[in-house]
Structure 1
Amino acid sequence: MKYVISVFLGSACYGILSTIVVLAYGRGYDLGEVVGSQLFTGFVLAWGLALIMKIRGKRRAGGQSGQAPNASNTTGRLKWKQRLLLMAAGTPTAITGLLYYESLHYIPASLAIILLFQFTWIGVLTQAVSQRKSPNRIMVSTIALLLGGTVLAAGIMEQGTGQFNGIGVILGLLSAVSYSLFIIFSGKALPSVHPAYRSAWMITGGMLFVFICFPPTFLFNGLLMSDLILYGFLLGLFGAFIPPVLFAVGVPHIGEGMAGILGASELPVAVLLSSFILNEHVSALQWAGVAVVLLGITMPELMKRRNYILFGGRQ
């Protein structure tokens, strides 16, 4: 149960981000300052954890005779080619943040998170195209549920499409595309390396990408010492530091399928905070749409478990 709770809380942390970003915008901070301060905070926290892991690894190695196996994975001794690969794998998550946070300038946070969650079926289509294999009936049904739930959750049935800013919707969908790419790349980039070092180098790559797009003047003009440091710390803590750590603890013990189900906790948390803190109107029909989206996300794993019980024996 502790591993289930770990992944659940890690996913719920992501649902907090959109509300914090909207509050930061309300204080006058721009996109580069918000994303830059988030990744800078995540960079500091991630490397702090990596340093602690390195010290522990050296102490353990010192207490054993001979050199510990896979020392590069426990003390962070990676080749520069490996470091660059991890940094490149972390770039899509920075792009996701830029697109997702920019969409919040145009559309409500409750709609932005729903658009971001379209990464689920986008990932299915991407995999089908890359493998030249058509999705099965379960995947098709899942996509149908997700699209139908999105229509309900976005309020299209009640208010039509006239209320939506086209730029915001496009940015929200593009954030879903980049997030699906991040999942693909992060899963294939040196999975044998310790999670602390993988996370640190990936965050480093994302931070450098953002700093190239938006020079970090806030680090030198004193702006970081204003309220920006609070928003950056919260975003870095809940977006770039805590979730990867909790996922590294829980996912190996519960499996990727169950982790995907628990990852859906991000959606209701984001919509709930948008409703209560940002005072965005979320109708009963929209909440029903959120429930349908959650059902669509969990259905493949539920069907897999059902088929295993029916045809593969008892779990």
Structure 2
Amino acid sequence: MLAFLGGCSFGILSTFVKIAYGQGFTPAQVVGSQFFGGAAMLWIIVLLRKKYKMKMSMVFKLLASGIAMAGSGLCYYQSLKYLDASIAIIMLFQFSWMGLFAEWILDRRVPGKGKWFSALILFVGSLLAAGILNVKEISMPLPGIIWGLLAAISFTAFIFLSGRVGVEVPPLTKSMLMSTGAFIVVSLIFPPRFLIDGSFVGEGLYKYALLLGVFGVILPPLLFSISMPNIGSGLGTILSSSELPTAVFMSVIVLREHVSVVQWIGVLVVLAGIALPNIRALRRRQTSLQ
């Protein structure tokens, strides 16, 4: 459930990002304020709690893990420069099967047929939910495809690292260090000029920093840090595919966007792909108890 909610949290982001763009804020301001807001809130929370001592080597490992966290957002924003939103989300959604390969290669754990079948269902569902069938002419420039796949690889790495690095570290402290590392990476690419040019407070950018910081920086690493060590990155990437259905629901509820019947069918197919491996696992657990 926590991994599923982590994916839902990411799915909320696109709606607020669209609203922020509509207010005239640039991608550099939005992504920079997102990681700044999330990291700042986590620092405040952690400093108010009981201190946890750890080795500097672990601190640097967690800071470095933030590179994958930042890379997913940065690469996805770059892909949107070349691709339509529907194509870009499909490129990002390839993390649903990349996680299975990561589990296979790095953990030497061969995913079962059920997981591969779920990944196939998720891919088909993503095509339908993203509205790809409604697009008459598809433009897929090579740079856009590369950036989109890099976003998927970065997201897969983020999920994998959440379940491997600093497992013994308290989730809040771990999330704080990972988000700090992500903010450092983003700041190197997009210097945080919004902190001094008046847009953060004067123009209201802080509101989006808080919203995007909570749903894009605080909750995902926190929820994944708790869930991934227990379920593995393979099942974790399948569960976090809840990102796409959530994005569709939010676009309808908040942005009042039109979603076709085919897209709703795609949402149901994605949810079925998420549920399948969990139903199988539950049946195996009940059989073993009997």
Common fold by TM > 0.5: yes
SS of 1:223's equivalent? coil
The letter of the residue matching 1:272 is F
The letter of the residue matching 1:306 is R
CA RMSD of aligned residues (A): 3.0
One of 222, 231, 235 as aligned partner of 1:256: 231
Q: What residue in structure 1 maps to residue 153 of structure 2? A: 177
Q: For 1:148 and 1:141, locate their aligned partners in 2 and report how far apart those are by CA, in whole Å.
A: 11
One of 207, 210, 230 as aligned partner of 2:183: 207
Identify if the C-alpha distance between structure 1 residues 251 and 122 changes in structure 2 by more than 3 Å, giving closer, same or farther: closer
The letter of the residue matching 2:158 is F
Q: For 2:91 and 2:58, locate their aligned partners in 1 and report how far apart those are by CA, in whole Å.
A: 33
Q: What residue in structure 1 maps to residue 213 of structure 2? A: 236
Deviation sequence 1:158-217 (CA, Å, 0-9, x none): 435x24554555533332211001111121111101112111111110000111111111
Q: What residue in structure 2 maps to residue 300 of structure 1? A: 277
| Structure 1 runs, 4 residues or longer, greater than 6 Å off | 257-262
The question of whether the paired residues in 2 share the 8 Å contact of 1:50 and 1:200 is answered with: yes
The letter of the residue matching 1:42 is G
Q: What residue in structure 1 maps to residue 71 of structure 2? A: 95
Q: For 2:106 and 2:8, locate their aligned partners in 1 and report how far apart those are by CA, in whole Å.
A: 31
Whether 2:127 is the aligned partner of 1:151: answer yes
5+ residue gaps, structure 2, are: none
Identify if the C-alpha distance between structure 1 residues 22 and 233 changes in structure 2 by more than 3 Å, giving closer, same or farther: same
> What is the CA distance between 1:301 and its match in structure 2?
2.2
Identify if the C-alpha distance between structure 1 residues 147 and 259 changes in structure 2 by more than 3 Å, giving closer, same or farther: closer
> What is the CA distance between 1:19 and its match in structure 2?
0.9
The letter of the residue matching 1:256 is I
Whether 2:48 is the aligned partner of 1:31: answer no
Q: Which moved more, 1:106-115 or 1:172-181?
A: 106-115
Whether 2:46 is the aligned partner of 1:45: answer no
The question of whether the paired residues in 2 share the 8 Å contact of 1:120 and 1:297 is answered with: no
TM-score relative to the length of structure 2: 0.84
SS of 1:240's equivalent? helix
Percent identity at matched positions?
41
SS of 2:258's equivalent? coil
> What is the CA distance between 1:129 and its match in structure 2?
3.4
Q: How many residues align?
A: 286
Q: For 2:67 and 2:173, locate their aligned partners in 1 and report how far apart those are by CA, in whole Å.
A: 16
The question of whether the paired residues in 1 share the 8 Å contact of 2:159 and 2:237 is answered with: no
Q: What residue in structure 2 maps to residue 66 of structure 1? A: none
The letter of the residue matching 1:143 is A
SS of 1:222's equivalent? coil
SS of 1:289's equivalent? helix
5+ residue gaps, structure 1, are: 55-74
